[in-house]
Amino acid sequence: MNILLTGAAGFIGFHATQALLAAGHAVTGLDEINDYYDPALKRARLAALEGRNGYRFVKCDIADAASVASATAGEHYDVILHLAAQAGVRYGLVDPAAYTRSNLVGHQVMLEFARHHQPAMPHLVYASSSSVYGNDTVPPFREDARCDRPVSYYGATKRSGEMLSHSYASLFGLQQTGLRFFTVYGPWGRPDMAYWLFTDKILKGEALPVFGGGKLRRDFTYVDDIVAALVRIVETPFTADEGQAPSRIYNLGNHHPEDVHALIKAIEKATGKTARIENREGPPGDVNETYADITRAARDFGFAPRLSLEDGIARFVTWYRAHFKV
Ligand SMILES: NC(=O)c1ccc[n+]([C@@H]2O[C@H](COP(=O)([O-])OP(=O)(O)OC[C@H]3O[C@@H](n4cnc5c(N)ncnc54)[C@H](O)[C@@H]3O)[C@@H](O)[C@H]2O)c1
């Protein structure tokens, strides 16, 4: 298959590109390489993929339709894996416009690109988030739970993306699969996320700022489990329920939430160091718990996450120490 992958310099995009190439697909990667976190990490991911058979990368802002058109001229894609986004809940308090540009305008540009793609519309697989669920969702979160009261601007833009997608499925028959990822972590991960920040501080002997008394619970999901599902979803012909718009949503989570103390314990074990904790008042926008019901993805794609938090964190810490030589 020929695949267009947005957010290719990002954490999940990097792993997805590797897995898709290994499965024999061709990948065109797009990314604007913005500086939300250190672009050196994004460049290092791209460098690790350089020269791979069937791969090419184009620096491109997906919120700019003309740039997307010129980056993809002359190609026909079977699937678009749209992962580019302004990620992270907390940065929404600082720069909401970044979310509007990448997650709303960018999403709409990709929808329009897919709709007019010749000779046939591709299957558009896009990243959504567990953040579409609010604090009042009953765990485990089911895809059909009410999702119109997000507590973060990020969650609001991700839910809006799902709705924009549904309208294109309805209006133009554009086949789409939205994936609600739950706290994805692993090697080559994201420096803005707690597992990375905590590892960094524990290795430096600095205190960890812990919000909510450490009681926040997250359905931590190892990146290889997510990527195995992505490859299966990309390769499986699209099916929609009879008489419905071709628009589906799946949770991809671990179905095993753990609190911040469990995360810290796993990092302590992997680093061999003891954490110093500083309890702090957290910023608004974080939900108390995320917990995925994965019945739907298990039924349709055999989704069965394998890695425990302890084993996944051990792999992350091994990578982190080797990458930063610490
Ligand atoms: N990692 C997680 O835990 C998690 C959880 C839920 C949802 N998601 C979603 O999964 C997707 C991938 O997340 P990630 O963790 O790899 O994040 P990431 O920040 O590492 O990757 C996103 C990439 O998109 C790029 N990007 C942003 N705006 C762009 C634009 N306008 N044009 C081109 N490129 C642009 C960034 O430069 C970045 O490299 C995102 O859509 C994110 O919202 C991630």
What pLDDT sits at residue 286? 81
What pLDDT sits at residue 287? 84
pTM: 0.98
Residue 135 CA to residue 123 CA, distance in Å, equals: 32
Q: Model confidence over 46-90: pLDDT tens digits? A: 999 999 999 999 999 999 999 999 999 999 999 999 999 999 999
| Residue whose CA is at the smallest distance from ligand 1 atom 42 | 87
What's the burial of 232, exposed, middle or buried (CB within 10 Å: 0-12/13-18/19+)?
middle
Contacts of 103 (CB under 8 A, 6+ apart): 85, 86, 154, 157, 158, 160, 161
Q: Model confidence over 117-137: pLDDT tens digits? A: 999 999 999 999 999 998 889
DSSP 238: P
Q: How far apart are the first and last CA of the chain?
A: 40
Q: Is 132 in the pocket of ligand 1 (CB under 6 A)?
A: no
Percent of the chain with pLDDT over 70: 100
| Residue whose CA is at the smallest distance from ligand 1 atom 39 | 10
Contacts of 116 (CB under 8 A, 6+ apart): none
How many Å lie between the centroid of ligand 1 and the Cα of residue 9? 9
DSSP 131: G
What pLDDT sits at residue 298? 98
Q: Is 85 in the pocket of ligand 1 (CB under 6 A)?
A: yes
What residues does each domain of the chain span?
2-181+221-252+293-306
Q: Among the atoms of ligand 1, which is closest to the Cα of residue 12?
A: 16
Residue 239 CA to residue 235 CA, distance in Å, equals: 12
The CA radius of gyration of the chain, in Å to the nearest whole number, is: 19
How does residue 229 score in pLDDT terms, banded at 50, 70 and 90? very high
Q: Among the atoms of ligand 1, which is closest to the Cα of residue 61?
A: 32
Residue 56 CA to residue 10 CA, distance in Å, equals: 15
Q: How many CB atoms lie within 10 A of CB 19?
A: 19
Which residues are catalytic, by number? 154
Strands in the chain per DSSP E: 2-6, 26-31, 55-59, 79-82, 123-129, 176-181, 184-185, 207-211, 217-218, 221-222, 247-252, 258-259, 276-280
Residue 124 CA to residue 80 CA, distance in Å, equals: 5
For residue 235, pLDDT over 90 is answered with: yes
User: What's phi and psi for 306, nearest 5 deg?
Assistant: -110, -35
What pLDDT sits at residue 312? 98
Residue 206 CA to residue 277 CA, distance in Å, equals: 9
How many Å lie between the centroid of ligand 1 and the Cα of residue 41? 13
How does residue 163 score in pLDDT terms, banded at 50, 70 and 90? very high
How many Å lie between the centroid of ligand 1 and the Cα of residue 326? 26
What pLDDT sits at residue 176? 98
Q: Is 223 in the pocket of ligand 1 (CB under 6 A)?
A: no
Q: Tell me the average pLDDT of the chain.
A: 96
For residue 285, pLDDT over 80 is answered with: no
Q: Model confidence over 16-53: pLDDT tens digits? A: 999 999 999 999 999 999 999 999 999 999 999 999 99
Tell me if residue 265 falls in helix, strand or coil. Answer: helix
Fold of 2-181+221-252+293-306: Rossmann fold (3.40.50)
For residue 162, pLDDT over 90 is answered with: yes
Residue 27 CA to residue 56 CA, distance in Å, equals: 7
Q: Is 127 in the pocket of ligand 1 (CB under 6 A)?
A: yes
What's the burial of 266, exposed, middle or buried (CB within 10 Å: 0-12/13-18/19+)?
buried
Q: Is 162 in the pocket of ligand 1 (CB under 6 A)?
A: no
